[in-house]
Amino acid sequence: MDLSNVVIAVVILACIVMVLLATRYTTDQKGFDEMQLKKRGDAFRIGFFTLLACVLLMLFLNSLDSFAEKVTVDFMLIASIMITACVFGVYSIWKDAFFRMNENPKTYLGICFAVVFPNAIVLIGELKQHGTLLKDGKVTFTPCGNLLNVVTFTIIAITIIIKMIVNRREEKE
Amino acid sequence: MKNLKLKAARAAMDMSQEQLADACGVSRQTISAIEKGDYNPTINLCIAICKVLGKTLDELFWGD
């Protein structure tokens, strides 16, 4: 059995467990007010349809021989998950539905940077060592997955920062 | 449609959005969204706001 397939399976399983835990936790709905719950519902719906669209696009692209030769399925799968997470995160942060009431967004900023830096180091190391992120001319789960992590969490961090500035301005008004 | 009556009632009591939000048990952003007309609150929240501001539902939420 290919070791990369085991890694992919573990990552997907971890994602499912995280979603289940998050869903279980959020069913308590503690700390969210009524508007936030409504917006979170919208965010989950948009995230669901984004994932559906990504998977359909992935199936279509994978059927094209020219594309399938250059990009592996495991990368496309993780890309779909990351795009979905990004859409959910950005939408709910922008609609003030991501953080619980009185929760400090700076904590999440710290988490974002804690994810971005190690992944960025891996990317830089890979580029220094091989001069490319491709493996045998293909876009693969590693190290291109690291690039996805960096992009996703940077977008989320930037959204948090912009939203904090907007909220501060509103509070002053 | 903006809810200027809510904003005026809050200002008359010299309350900030944050203070009203805390008194009603919601986030400041929710009060802001109601004032801007971006969110229609449930009847429970309307009642909570009215109690805090000492107004009736008609006075704050009934359109002219």
CATH of the domain at B28: 1.10.260.40
**B41–A34 C-beta distance less than 8 A:** yes
End-to-end CA distance of chain B: 12
* B64 found inside a domain: no
CA distance B16 to chain A (A): 9
**B25–A33 C-beta distance less than 8 A:** yes
pLDDT tier for residue B1 given thresholds of 50, 70 and 90: confident
Residue B18 contacts A where some CB pair is shorter than 8 Å = yes
DSSP state letter for A31: T
* B52 found inside a domain: yes
Half-sphere exposure of residue A132: CA atoms within 13 angstroms, side-chain side: 7
pLDDT given for residue A28 in this prediction: 54
pLDDT given for residue B11 in this prediction: 92
pLDDT given for residue A2 in this prediction: 63
How does pLDDT run along chain A (173 residues), one tens digit per residue? 566 667 777 777 777 777 667 655 555 567 899 999 999 999 999 999 999 999 999 999 988 888 888 888 888 988 999 999 999 999 999 999 998 887 888 888 999 999 999 999 988 888 888 888 788 788 888 788 889 999 999 999 999 999 999 988 888 77
| Domains of chain B: total | 1
Rounded average pLDDT over B31-56: 93
pLDDT given for residue A95 in this prediction: 92
Tokens of A114: 């804690």
If one counts every other C-beta atom within 10 angstroms of the C-beta of residue B22, the result is 17
Nearest residue in chain B measured CA to CA from A39: B39
**A35–B26 C-beta distance less than 8 A:** yes
- Bond before A143 cis per omega within 30 degrees: yes
pLDDT given for residue A104 in this prediction: 85
Residue B15 contacts A where some CB pair is shorter than 8 Å = no
- Contacts with A171 from chain B: Cβ below 8 Å: 17-18, 28
pLDDT given for residue A133 in this prediction: 78
Residue B64 has pLDDT above 60, yes or no: no
Range of the domain at B13: 4-59
pLDDT given for residue A131 in this prediction: 81
Residue B6: closest CA among B25, B43, B31 = B31
pLDDT given for residue A26 in this prediction: 54
* B50 found inside a domain: yes
Rounded average pLDDT over B15-34: 92
Domain boundaries, chain A: 3-172
> Side chain identity at B47, as an amino acid letter?
I
CA distance B50 to chain A (A): 17
